[in-house]
Amino acid sequence: MNVVMIGAGYVGLVSGSCFAEFGANVTCLDINAAKIEALKAGNIPIYEPGLDSLVERNSRAGRLKFTTEFAGTIENADLVFIAVGTPTENEGGHADLKYVYSAARDIAQYLDGYTIIVDKSTVPVGTAREVKRIIADANPQADFDVASNPEFLREGSAIDDFMRPDRVVIGVESQRARAMLLELYRPLNADQAPILVTDLESAEITKYAANAFLATKISFINEIADLCEKAGGDVQAVAKGLGLDSRIGSKFLHPGPGFGGSCFPKDTRALVKLAQDSGASCRIVQAVVEVNHEQKLRMVEKIVRALGGSAQDKNIAVLGLTFKPETDDMREASSLTILPELLRRGANIRAHDPQSMAIAARLLPQAIEYSDELYATAANADVVVLMTEWNEYRGLQLEKLKRFMRGNAFVDLRNVYDQSIMEEQGFSYSSIGR
């Protein structure tokens, strides 16, 4: 089967490489010529564990190719996936669909023989139908179907999520498209992954509903953590007690500095807009968005409290900048809100991150210093803030860290450490909801 993946980003590159691993002939097409040149030369533009060897193996086997050209690529495709970005629009909170629609127009010109155009990007209800209209208008002779096949890939474990999914959702309008997509995903049968076939709209809403529900769990536990801080209780024990109820489940109940990343923030905002536009009520998700913003500001207050009530002229060492570990993605990372606010309050900041310092330096104020060496980040620090739970921060040599510092405050925004052990080591320790 010949597959074209438009957009070789976090989602498109992983999905394309995984389809190639399943035996399909895949071409990843991206308008970013520098990215395509890098990929052709064997350089992976993002950090995603396992992706380099997957790309290398499938490129060598001739099943994975890269191009910037629609002409000569689309004609041979059985399936064309659209995996371009769908960022939040500058105004409002709607998903910006201009890249999806421009891809649809470019695809339309070159269609030759029956082809399925599949939306993989997260898009509001009705987008697949609009893609269909655009293609039919641009090329009335085209023989095609549209489909919706949302991704559920977590950065950092995207390949495993693709290869061993909890489910695959496929929205289609025709038996022919259904059969071809089921054939493409047939290698998953060995793992007995449920494949759910729906109409186009249900597939589109399922993606938003799944992300909004997971984001709701996070904002919920963050509010319970706040309650524990004010009324007493340990949120870790509460989360355990909650999660053991199989109707609730234990995942996504970790309190933290607010959710970030390429999906939850933009998808919750887009779902609220979509509901408003459709005349539906979406109060729960609206509250999730607000609570998440407040959570980041609460983290600022927590750090300032650890500094004795003022950040003025205090030295803050930050461990971790990305929105989660095992990625270099900085999109909507909580550090992008928390650190500028601490600077505004007069703090000096030195930061460390295993993967994202170069990217972060372009997004954060210039006043922030970066340290290549983990422990040196804490030199002269009044407080160490653990922002992202990278593995190398889970087993810190605490004595060594403390020797570098001039103060002894440690603010653990991921609840990695144990209060009593930290106090034994001489730290003034605070965490979330305990």
Listed ranges 4-12, 73-81, 109-117, 306-314: which one lies at the site for ligand UDX (CB under 6 A): 4-12
408 makes contact with ligand UDX (CB under 6 A): no
Binding positions for ligand UDX, 310-369, rule CB under 6 A: 323-324
Measured from the CB atom, the residue of 153 and 228 that comes closer to ligand UDX is: 153
Q: How many residues bind ligand UDX (CB under 6 A)?
A: 39
386 makes contact with ligand UDX (CB under 6 A): no
Measured from the CB atom, the residue of 83 and 311 that comes closer to ligand UDX is: 83
- How is the beta sheet containing 64-67 ordered, strand by strand? 64-67, 25-29, 2-6, 79-82, 115-119, 144-148, 168-171, 195-198
Q: How far is the CB of 256 from ligand UDX (least distance, A)?
A: 3
268 makes contact with ligand UDX (CB under 6 A): no
What the block records as the tokens of 259 is: 């959710």
Binder of ligand UDX out of 54, 103, 342, 343 (CB under 6 A): 103
The torsion angle over the Cα atoms of residues 160, 161, 163 and 168, rounded to 10 degrees, is 180
259 makes contact with ligand UDX (CB under 6 A): yes
83 makes contact with ligand UDX (CB under 6 A): yes
* Closest by CA position to 397, among listed 374, 419, 413: 374
**Helix/strand/coil for 412:** strand
Q: How far is the CB of 280 from ligand UDX (least distance, A)?
A: 21
Measured from the CB atom, the residue of 146 and 311 that comes closer to ligand UDX is: 146
Measured from the CB atom, the residue of 98 and 344 that comes closer to ligand UDX is: 98
Q: Are 40 and 16 in contact (CB under 8 A)?
A: no
| Rounded Cα–Cα distance for residues 408 and 307 (Å) | 10
- Residue of 18, 28, 228, 263 with catalytic role: 263
Q: Which helix (H) or strand (E) holds 212?
A: helix 200-231
99 makes contact with ligand UDX (CB under 6 A): yes
31 makes contact with ligand UDX (CB under 6 A): yes
Q: How far is the CB of 149 from ligand UDX (least distance, A)?
A: 12
- Which residues make beta-bridge pairs with 118? 81, 147
Binding positions for ligand UDX, 211-240, rule CB under 6 A: 211, 214, 218
Measured from the CB atom, the residue of 101 and 370 that comes closer to ligand UDX is: 101
| Rounded Cα–Cα distance for residues 94 and 309 (Å) | 39
The torsion angle over the Cα atoms of residues 126, 127, 128 and 129, rounded to 10 degrees, is 50
**Helix/strand/coil for 207:** helix
**Helix/strand/coil for 373:** coil
263 catalytic per annotation: yes
Q: Are 416 and 394 in contact (CB under 8 A)?
A: yes
Q: Are 100 and 86 in contact (CB under 8 A)?
A: yes
* DSSP letter for each residue of 222-287: HHHHHHHHHH---HHHHHHHHHTSTTT-STT----S---SSSHHHHHHHHHHHHHHHT---HHHHH
**Helix/strand/coil for 376:** helix
Measured from the CB atom, the residue of 217 and 402 that comes closer to ligand UDX is: 217
Listed ranges 162-170, 188-196, 210-218, 393-401: which one lies at the site for ligand UDX (CB under 6 A): 210-218
67 makes contact with ligand UDX (CB under 6 A): no
Measured from the CB atom, the residue of 55 and 218 that comes closer to ligand UDX is: 218
**One character per residue 121-160, x = contact with ligand UDX (rule: CB under 6 A):** xx-----------------------------xxxx-----
16 makes contact with ligand UDX (CB under 6 A): no
Binder of ligand UDX out of 3, 4, 5, 9 (CB under 6 A): 9
Tokens 């605490």: give the residue: 398
261 makes contact with ligand UDX (CB under 6 A): yes
Number of H helices, E strands in the chain: 16, 14
Q: At what angle do helices 283-306 and 200-231 cross, to 10 degrees?
A: 40
3-state secondary structure 9-77: CHHHHHHHHHHHHCCCEEEEECCCHHHHHHHHCCCCCCCCCCHHHHHHHHHHCCCEEEECCCCCCHHHC
Listed ranges 82-90, 175-183, 309-317, 346-354: which one lies at the site for ligand UDX (CB under 6 A): 82-90
262 makes contact with ligand UDX (CB under 6 A): yes
Measured from the CB atom, the residue of 12 and 354 that comes closer to ligand UDX is: 12
70 makes contact with ligand UDX (CB under 6 A): no
264 makes contact with ligand UDX (CB under 6 A): yes
Q: Looking at the annotation, which residues are catalytic?
A: 263
- Residues of this chain that interact with ligand UDX (CB under 6 A) are 6-12, 30-32, 35, 83-86, 99, 102-103, 121-122, 152-155, 211, 214, 218, 252-254, 256, 259-264, 323-324
